[in-house]
Amino acid sequence: MTTSIIYNLVPFGIILLLVYIFIDIFLDYFRKSENNKMHRLVFYGFFLYLINFIQIKWGGIIFPTKNADILNVYVSSSNSKVNTLYEALYSAISGYNPSAIIYSMLLWIPIGVFISVISNKGSTLLIIFMSCLALELIELVLAQLGFILKYTSILNIFTLASSILGGVIGMWVVRLFSKQIRVQQQTQ
């Protein structure tokens, strides 16, 4: 029997993000540049959401990696209430039921919003499609290598389609609100 530990990625990711923000602010002092501060805040928020998104989607990283032993025991690295929330969201999104498809779509709506705000208007749909496909393929490879829990070794087309739909809904939300803002600015 092998005991493996499932590590929560969020604390490590937040520490790396804070180090990056600190270095960026420190270097900005020497650059004396007048970059768009709002664009940088959206960029930081995107990475913070991406860290939480990956934790929910993959359920954590397993170390040591799982092997062919049927009697694997998986132990969580912490017993906090936040970790329990991530585990509940992971179990809701990882099953093969209609609610998992809806959760997958809802999880991708903020990423569609962030990609629409950060990228050019023409390439947004392509970036959403490629990021959904890339994340599913990375998840499949990491599951085959034993770094994440995944109970099937196939690419789930329904999850991929719902992820793309969620990203497109996020893109439409941004376009709708930006159109409304332009109309209000023209009337004033």
Query: With 80 as the cut, is the pLDDT of residue 160 above it?
Result: yes
In this structure, the dihedral spanned by the alpha carbons of residues 88, 165, 10 and 22, taken in order and rounded to 10 degrees, is -160
Better-scored residue on pLDDT, 148 or 6 = 148
Q: How much is the pTM?
A: 0.75
Question: What domain range is 130 assigned to?
Answer: 3-187
User: Can you give the pLDDT at residue 22?
Assistant: 87
In whole numbers, what is the pLDDT of the chain averaged over residues?
A: 78
Task: Give me the number of domains the chain comprises.
Answer: 1
Question: How do residues 82-139 score in pLDDT, each as one tens digit?
Answer: 556 767 777 777 666 677 788 888 989 999 998 888 887 778 899 999 999 998 888 8
User: Can you give the pLDDT at residue 69?
Assistant: 47
Could you tell me which residues come within 8 angstroms of residue 70 by beta carbon, excluding any fewer than 6 positions away? none
Please state the rounded mean pLDDT for residues 74-88.
Answer: 60
Q: How far apart are CA 5 and CA 26, in angstroms?
A: 36
Percent of the chain past pLDDT 90, that is, above it, reads 15
Q: How far apart are CA 36 and CA 39, in angstroms?
A: 5
